[in-house]
């Protein structure tokens, strides 16, 4: 095959990370074709440099930019397109890019966009749910890809690594290899632990001898300020792009906190993680393997996937003392600080 294979996943951070096993599957299925990926400009650094991605087409979130992209794709000559997102804009790209074959998720109003459709999510007979990366790999396989596991990968450039060092110095991180990244905020209010609870965990981590670095997203500066006020000794990572964020995270001992993009980024880099779950399901979102621990609410309405809730008590009900104990135990068994300490004593 000489025509290009196009994969579409514009956002968000964790989802772009979790689509990488599917991108790898597409490249294995069509090794003689160029694999090109459409994503938003901010996430392009995570994919540029991956050995199974030949080109990243960074696009802005406007219809004008989308129209220009479609025109460029039609000139390029796309053999097949796989839409791993499925909103109206990405469905339009898939339908209009000129590809002879298209695949996407079976979503309402998208039937005309894709030649092959697969269900968006699977729930098994025993109540288990499909992991998000497995969902993408299943779509890639339906498009002709060959699965190669579910481990996510991201690229970290030398320029990003060079930028990470002064950023950590600005955050007063003296030893990143003994520092825990803490994600206290979240895109969904319902899946975010109360800040007072996160602050108690931060204090327990500090008392145990860990340094704590607050990892903040755009617009979360106030959360960082309040966290530092409640847990003196915590420092905050200055604003940076996702490429530099990856370079920072790969130096840390672990990342704990809200189920979030930075946590998936850490998992893709082999960094131990721990998260708390309420409205989302760990079957879907917890990275596989012993390095990645979690605690979840016991309420019967858990895993509801609601972004708003009139009786929200799943996350407040996760007692900070209990979670702190679980996190510290997980770090003692799997954290890089534990390994460093063992090596130092040897």
Q: What is the pLDDT of residue 336?
A: 72
- Was domain 4-142 assigned CATH 3.40.50.300? no
Task: Output the pLDDT for position 344.
Answer: 30
Q: What is the pLDDT of residue 1?
A: 47
Let me know the angle formed at the C-alpha of 26 by 107 and 118, rounded to the nearest 5 degrees: 20
Q: What number is the average pLDDT over the span 263-289?
A: 97
Mean of the pLDDT values across residues 31-38?
A: 97
Q: How confident is the model at residue 2 (pLDDT cuts 50, 70, 90)?
A: low
pLDDT tops 90 at residue 291: yes
Give the per-residue pLDDT at 111: 82
- Residue 335: pLDDT band (50, 70, 90) is confident
- Arithmetic mean of pLDDT, 262-278: 97
pLDDT at position 164 over 80: yes
Closest C-alpha to 287, from 257, 314, 266: 266
Sequence-separated (6 or more) residues with CB below 8 Å from residue 344: none
In Å, what is the CA distance from 54 to each residue of 48, 95, 152, 259?
8, 22, 17, 30
Which letter, b or e, does each residue of 166-194 get, where b requires 16 or more Cβ atoms within 10 Å of its Cβ?
Answer: ebbeebebeebebbbbbbbbbbbebbbbe
Q: Do domains 4-142 and 159-345 have the same CATH topology?
A: yes
pLDDT number for residue 235:
97
Which one, of 194, 220, 200, lies nearest residue 212 by Cα?
Answer: 200
Q: What per-residue confidence (pLDDT) applies to 337?
A: 57
Count the helix, strand and coil residues of the chain and give each as a percent rounded to the nearest 5: 40, 15, 40
Please say whether the dihedral angle defined by the alpha carbons of residues 143, 1, 53 and 115, taken in this order, is positive or negative: negative
Residue 25: CA count within 13 A, CB half-sphere: 27
The residues that bridge with 295 in the sheet, in sequence order, are: 276
For residues 1 and 79, is the Cβ–Cβ distance under 8 A? yes
Q: Is the peptide bond before 12 cis (omega within 30 degrees of 0)?
A: yes
Q: What is the mean pLDDT of residues 106-134?
A: 91
Each domain of the chain, given as residue ranges in start order, spans 4-142, 159-345
Average pLDDT (303-313) is 94
Average pLDDT of the chain is: 94
pLDDT band at 343 (very low <50, low <70, confident <90, very high): very low
Q: What local confidence, expressed as pLDDT, does residue 20 receive?
A: 98
Weakest-pLDDT range from 17-31, 219-233, 326-340: 326-340
The CATH-assigned architecture of domain 159-345 is 3-Layer(aba) Sandwich (3.40)
pLDDT in tens, 167-214: 999 999 999 999 999 999 988 999 999 999 999 999 999 999 999 999
In the chain, % of residues over pLDDT 70: 97
């Amino acid at each position: 095959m000489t025509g290009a294979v196009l994969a579409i996943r514009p956002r968000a951070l964790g989802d772009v990370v979790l689509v990488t096993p599917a991108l790898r599957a597409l490249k294995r299925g069509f090794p003689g074709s160029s694999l090109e990926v459409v994503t938003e400009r901010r996430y392009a650094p995570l994919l540029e440099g991956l050995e199974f991605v030949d080109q990243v087409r960074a696009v802005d979130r406007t219809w004008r930019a989308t129209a220009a992209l479609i025109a460029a794709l039609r000139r390029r000559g796309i053999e097949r397109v796989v839409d791993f997102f499925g909103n109206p804009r990405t469905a339009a790209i898939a339908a209009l890019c000129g590809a002879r074959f298209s695949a996407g998720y079976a979503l309402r109003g998208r039937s005309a966009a894709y030649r092959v459709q697969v269900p968006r999510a699977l729930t098994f007979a025993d109540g288990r749910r499909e992991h998000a990366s497995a969902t993408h790999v299943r779509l890639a396989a339906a498009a002709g890809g060959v699965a190669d596991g579910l481990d996510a990968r991201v690229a970290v450039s030398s320029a990003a690594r060079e930028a990470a060092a002064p950023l950590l110095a600005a955050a007063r991180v003296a030893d990143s290899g003994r520092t825990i990244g803490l994600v206290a905020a979240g895109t969904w209010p319902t899946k975010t632990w109360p800040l007072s609870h996160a602050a108690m965990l931060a204090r327990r981590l500090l008392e145990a001898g860990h340094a704590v670095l607050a990892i903040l997203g755009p617009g979360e500066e106030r959360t960082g300020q309040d966290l530092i006020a409640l847990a003196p000794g915590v420092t905050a990572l200055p604003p940076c792009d996702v490429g530099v964020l990856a370079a920072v995270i790969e130096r840390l001992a672990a990342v704990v906190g809200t189920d979030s993009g930075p946590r998936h980024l850490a998992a893709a880099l082999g960094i131990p993680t721990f998260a708390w779950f309420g409205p989302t399901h760990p079957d879907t979102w917890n990275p596989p393997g012993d390095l990645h621990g979690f605690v979840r609410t016991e309420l019967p309405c858990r895993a509801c996937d609601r972004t708003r809730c009139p009786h929200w008590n799943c996350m407040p009900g996760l007692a900070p003392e209990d979670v702190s104990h679980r996190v510290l135990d997980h770090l003692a068994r799997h954290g890089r600080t534990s390994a460093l300490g063992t090596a130092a004593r040897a």
